[in-house]
């Protein structure tokens, strides 16, 4: 079954970050439904994994809940990643989670990025901080990012603008999912060439297998 992993980096409960993540997820499901797709939503709440993430950074071994989240992310057909913005950048917890991922975890995966913050002055953090971070993991980040300031959830005019951006980003993610091919997870060290094969290729006797 097609799956969308939703990463919510909100720290409070309830959380504006979780609210935005939920709206993006529902909009993406709606857009996918227009293409006769029924993806499954898999939630990764970083707040609930905070201790496991810290322990993983210190020990290198993920606890079962964190290991399940990492596996779900590697197998996802698309990802929605939402972080709060602190000090003009992504949260430390969000970055810590990214730090424990293998560099090929999101290779070619369509990703929608979003963030929440106290004011619109933080909105550029998505473009100069979050987008490059996901690009480092070779994710296929969709063009439209979504930022929601505190006032965007209450003011009618800005709420309408936010809804438009959510719908546009969700449509881009659903289209990217429909157009993406199945990613192949290969081990670069699996089945290494023998010395004889390497030597033969070097001498022109035979191509590498």
Give the pLDDT score at 151.
81
Q: Alpha-carbon distance 22 to 80, whole Å? A: 10
Give the pLDDT score at 42.
97
Q: What is the mean pLDDT of residues 157-169?
A: 88
Residue 190 has pLDDT above 90, yes or no: no
Residue 184 has pLDDT above 60, yes or no: no
Tens digit of pLDDT for each residue in 80-127?
A: 999 999 988 999 999 999 999 999 999 999 999 999 998 888 889 999
Q: What is the mean pLDDT of residues 7-28?
A: 94
Give the pLDDT score at 66.
98
| Vertex 114: Cα angle to 109 and 117 (nearest 5) | 155
Q: Alpha-carbon distance 26 to 41, whole Å? A: 9
CA 131 to chain centre: 10
Domains of the chain in sequence order: 3-203 (3.40.50.360)
108's tokens: 């070619």
Give the pLDDT score at 196.
63
Question: Which of these ranges, 12-21, 30-39, 99-108, 113-122, has the smallest mean pLDDT?
Answer: 30-39
The H or E element that residue 202 is part of is helix 195-203
How sure is the predictor about 185, in pLDDT bands with cuts at 50, 70 and 90? very low
CB 146 within 8 A of CB 25: no
Q: Alpha-carbon distance 1 to 189, whole Å? A: 29
Q: What is the mean pLDDT of residues 185-190?
A: 46
Phi-psi region of 187 (alpha: psi -120 to 50; beta: other; left: phi over 0): beta
């Amino acid at each position: 079954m097609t799956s969308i992993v939703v990463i919510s980096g909100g720290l409070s409960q309830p959380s504006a970050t979780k609210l935005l993540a939920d709206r993006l997820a529902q909009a993406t499901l709606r857009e996918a439904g227009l293409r006769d797709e029924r993806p499954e939503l898999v939630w990764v709440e970083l707040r609930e994994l905070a201790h496991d993430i810290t322990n993983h950074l210190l020990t290198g071994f993920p606890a079962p809940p964190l290991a399940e989240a990492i596996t779900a992310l590697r197998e996802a057909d698309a990802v929605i990643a939402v972080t709060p913005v602190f000090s003009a950048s992504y949260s430390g917890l969000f970055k810590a989670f990214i730090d424990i991922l293998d560099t090929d975890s999101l290779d070619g995966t369509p990703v929608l990025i979003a963030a929440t913050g106290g004011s619109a002055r933080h909105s550029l953090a998505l473009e100069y901080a979050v987008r490059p971070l996901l690009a480092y993991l070779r994710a296929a980040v969709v063009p439209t990012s979504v930022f929601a300031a505190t006032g965007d959830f209450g003011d009618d005019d800005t709420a309408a603008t936010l809804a438009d951006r959510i719908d546009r980003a969700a449509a881009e993610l659903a289209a990217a999912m429909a157009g993406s091919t199945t990613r192949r997870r290969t081990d670069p060290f699996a089945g290494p060439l023998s010395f004889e094969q390497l030597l033969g290729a070097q001498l022109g006797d035979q191509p590498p297998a």
